[in-house]
Amino acid sequence: MRTIAIATRVIKELLRDKRTLALMFLAPIFILILLNFVFSASQTTDVNVGTVAVTQSLNQDLDQSKHVTVKTYANYAAAKKALNNDHLDAIIIQKNHDYRLTYANTDSSKTTAVKMAFRNALSTSTLANLKGQLASTTAALIKLRSQLPNTASVPEQSATKATTPQITNHYVYGDADTGFFDKILPILMGFFVFFFVFLISGMALLKERTSGTLDRLLATPVKRAEIVFGYMLSYGILAIFQTVLIVLVTIWLLGVEVVGNLAYVVLINLLLALVALAFGILVSTFANSEFQMMQFIPILVIPQVFFSGIIPLDSMAGWVKDISYVIPVKYSGDAATQIITRGVSLTDLGLDIGILLLFLVCLTLLNIVGLRRYRKV
């Protein structure tokens, strides 16, 4: 009977907690619907290939490959400039019967797609050329036989000689062993920075509030902005050490090749950590317990994974892709990827940095306004 009484009391408390019930039943449905939108999208990979001095037949066969767009260039310098500006995924140069392929290789799936499309197009083009040569040789033999009195003296030898083209591969970033994990690692690095700073800051401020420390602080003449900035400064110092540790361990321990400046990668992730800090403080104002704080994770943190670029955004529907524009990890991931794989400087990442700063300012202002509900008048 005592067991039943305890169970009855707990059930009544749960039924009175409408927010917990909503998160328990609605959050899984929300995640499942989100997964359906993400993984029901096309899994094809579109690639852009630039060609220099490549035969017309090979260009046509390559352009007819599914999800491959071919653009011809007059020289390698123009094609290389397009590759550096992220307009091309690979360059194909033909010299006599040999081919040189240069891959951006920032996305191993696109590199693989280019290799497969090139091999198929080369096989088709070579087969067509052999058929043409065989037809012309056969016609020449028939004509020669008709002109000679003794056809038996004409040897039946093919005049065609198949030459095996030499193909050399070059990689702007990484090498042939660079895989998909190398592409998502800069994004994963930012996600872990965001997740742990968000969780720690939110839990810490929630403890301050539930223990009464925040109420006593609000009862003093201290301004709300000073309280918010004080919390952000204290937790921000911890976030700096955490961010530096995560970035350095990720890059050195996993052996990631960094083309750009490592300090830029740290600065981008540090800015993301400050955004996560302000986000965690804001969310903690809507939670009444640590349990409710944890329940916000499926709603607010898991979508950061889906729309940050870990799952290729170009394979999603347009309206689903638009969700990524309100995801902070997307902008930090894009910036870190550009620095690590292409060596881009901070001055060229103004859009990503600007949006992260906008997130930080807006969330900080919301935190200042949100403290009104706890101010004792």
Residues contacting 251, CB < 8 A, separation 6+: 258, 262, 265
DSSP letters along 158-192, please?
A: ------PPPEEEEESSS-TT--HHHHHHHHHHHHH
If you average pLDDT over residues 146-161, what whole number do you get? 54
- Asked if pLDDT for residue 206 goes beyond 70, the answer is yes
d(Cα 369, Cα 377) in Å, to the nearest integer? 15
If you average pLDDT over residues 164-179, what whole number do you get? 83
Question: Dihedral, CA atoms, 88, 255, 337, 116, nearest 10 degrees?
Answer: 30
List residues bridging with 49 in a β-sheet. Answer: 70, 90
d(Cα 81, Cα 343) in Å, to the nearest integer? 15
Extents of the domains making up the chain: 47-171, 179-374
- Asked if pLDDT for residue 242 goes beyond 70, the answer is yes
Amino acid, single-letter form, for residue 269? N
Higher pLDDT, 133 or 51: 51
Q: What is the pTM of this model?
A: 0.75
CATH for 47-171 is 3.40.190
* Residue 13: both structure tokens together: 């408390």
| Angle (deg, nearest 10), helices 328-342 and 350-370 | 150
Instruction: Give me the chain's average pLDDT, please.
Output: 80
Q: pLDDT, tens digit, for every residue of 279-288? A: 988 888 777 7
Q: What is the pLDDT of residue 360?
A: 93
d(Cα 261, Cα 273) in Å, to the nearest integer? 19
- Asked if pLDDT for residue 44 goes beyond 70, the answer is no
Q: What is the pLDDT of residue 377?
A: 45
If you average pLDDT over residues 177-189, what whole number do you get? 82
Q: pLDDT, tens digit, for every residue of 286-313? A: 777 777 777 777 778 888 887 887 777 7
- Asked if pLDDT for residue 192 goes beyond 70, the answer is yes
- Range from 18-27, 84-93, 232-241, 296-305 carrying the lowest mean pLDDT: 18-27
Q: What is the pLDDT of residue 293?
A: 78
Instruction: Look at the block and give the residue holding tokens 């590759």.
Output: 83
Neighbours of 219 (CB within 10 A): 10
Question: CA of 209: how far to CAs of 227, 272, 294, in Å?
Answer: 12, 25, 16
Question: CA of 45: how far to CAs of 8, 111, 188, 224, in Å?
Answer: 55, 10, 21, 50
Q: What is the pLDDT of residue 371?
A: 73
Q: pLDDT, tens digit, for every residue of 69-128? A: 899 998 989 999 898 888 899 999 988 888 999 998 888 888 888 998 888 888 887 777
